[in-house]
Amino acid sequence: MIPTARTQPPGTFEILHEDAHTGARTGVLWTAHGPIETPIFMPVGTQATVKAIDPRELHEMNAQIILGNTYHLMLRPGMDIMATCGGLHRFMGWDKPILTDSGGFQVFSLAGLRKIKRDGVSFQSHIDGARFFMGPKESMEVQRILGSDIAMAFDECIPWPCDEAYATNAVHQTLRWARRCLEEPHAEGQLLFGIVQGGEFTELREYCAKELVAMGFDGYAVGGVSVGEPEPALLKGIADGVRHLPWNKPRYVMGLGDLWQMTQAVSLGADMFDCVIPTRNARNGSAFTRSGPYPVKAGEFKSDTRPIEEGCTCPCCSRVSRAYIRHLLNVGEILGVRLLTLHNLHCYLTFMQEMREAINADYFAQWKEEQTRRLRPDGIRARGA
RNA sequence: GGUGGGCUUCCGGAGCGGUCAAACGGGGCAGACUGUAAAUCUGCUGGCUCACGCCUUCUUUGGUUCGAAUCCAAGGCCCACCA
């Protein structure tokens, strides 16, 4: 699958194939814990675990890289324990690549519990209310101790809607902090990605992207999308950000998303994605399929003997029925949540695998059309199809 | 056979003369979820209109009262203890 004969140094990004009709491309990004194939979906494992899933199972479903979170791990278990336990990989028993988010998203999601200052953000812990400070320096220090393969710059993720003055200010803040992150020491072989902000303002996105590129990061992310805006605005934000990023560096769209949105983003030239949706929504009872999501806990699946998704080869679908999963979810059995999470991740991962194959074999545009027909048939979501 | 307690909307269970279609919990149903404060959260849950409103309900029957799920009488069933 990966054509390179020998191991490449961390940060090497080999572009394998470019689509003739869109911005899509396949590639391999090398990290200190091995290569990842792009376009890729990265399961989210905020608190040193992809919720409900064992790393062994992640291996089995061919997950190549997962996320961890600076903010959460700093609070619990804390960096002294992380250091004693030898970093995040050793701690959680996962030896493939890890990307850590910087805590920038918590500036957005914990808006009621923090105050933004010039050098960083003073947070009040969502756990016990304890006050602490996190800025670019602190975030990088934590990410260094965690020993992630890819660290993210500490940024200010803004909400939607957001006025231009506020967004401009957040971009300046993000750039100032990005510069600071670059100056901080990294872990051995650790890559650092900068994050493009700018909200819905095209010129701001452009400015932010160009400034970051001038600083020289190992990769670039588009942040501040999928924060509640309507889909067209989301896609525009991605396009505005990706457009100005260097061709030869990986491009990561943060927080995406939905299968269809990812195909659109890849088409615009994006390479990496992460999203809590397949895992969180599994816990909340919805199944993702190649024909869209549906609520397995709905009464209509009470005695449905079909698997969650027909034709799926995941450990859930190859053994049990919708009726069984619905029953487990209904009575609150932990296995229900586990099996459905397994399925949803499998669905996302195989979707990306197929997408890479389509790009490599030069039929991405056609494949994308097919997916659109299945995932967005007149805007109506399929229900257990 | 005796004495006492009880029967409330799918279930459990408040209510003890009007402010009661009836608290609350469960269950059921529906919806939400996009760098995880989320195995979470929201709404609905007698009928008709689904707004206002109207209609039929709180074991049964009869009664007291301007007015009863709430008071009285009798019947039915259940529970406890004593025989």
- Whole-angstrom Cα distance, residue A370 to residue A358? 11
Rounded, the Å distance between the CA of A331 and C1' of B76 is: 38
* Secondary structure in 3-state letters for A119-177: CEEEEECCCCCCEEEECHHHHHHHHHHHCCCEEECCCCCCCCCCCHHHHHHHHHHHHHH
pLDDT computed for residue A377 by the predictor: 83
Rounded, the Å distance between the CA of A385 and C1' of B65 is: 63
Q: Which two tokens stand for residue A270?
A: 């994006």
- pLDDT tens-digit readout, A241-276: 999 999 999 999 999 989 999 999 999 999 999 999
ipTM for the whole complex: 0.94
Nucleotide nearest to A278 (CA to C1'): B34
Annotated catalytic residue within A19, A101, A218, A240: A101
Rounded, the Å distance between the CA of A100 and C1' of B43 is: 37
Q: How many alpha carbons lie under 13 Å from residue A162 in its C-beta half-sphere?
A: 25
Strands (E), chain A: 13-18, 25-31, 34-38, 40-43, 66-69, 98-101, 114-117, 120-124, 131-134, 150-152, 191-196, 219-222, 251-253, 272-275, 286-287, 294-295
Rounded, the Å distance between the CA of A333 and C1' of B25 is: 21
Q: Is A101 a catalytic residue?
A: yes
- pLDDT tens-digit readout, A336-345: 999 999 999 9
Enumerate the nucleotides of strand B whose atoms come under 7 Å of any protein CB: 27-41
The C-alpha angle A164, A165, A168, rounded to 5 degrees, equals 80
The C-alpha angle A274, A275, A278, rounded to 5 degrees, equals 125
- Whole-angstrom Cα distance, residue A130 to residue A111? 15
For residue A3, is pLDDT > 60?
Answer: no
Contact between residue A149 and residue A189 where contact means Cβ atoms under 8 Å apart: yes
> What pTM was estimated for this model as a whole?
0.94
Residues facing A40 on adjacent strands = A272
Nucleotide nearest to A68 (CA to C1'): B35
Nucleotide nearest to A229 (CA to C1'): B34
Q: Is A274 a catalytic residue?
A: yes
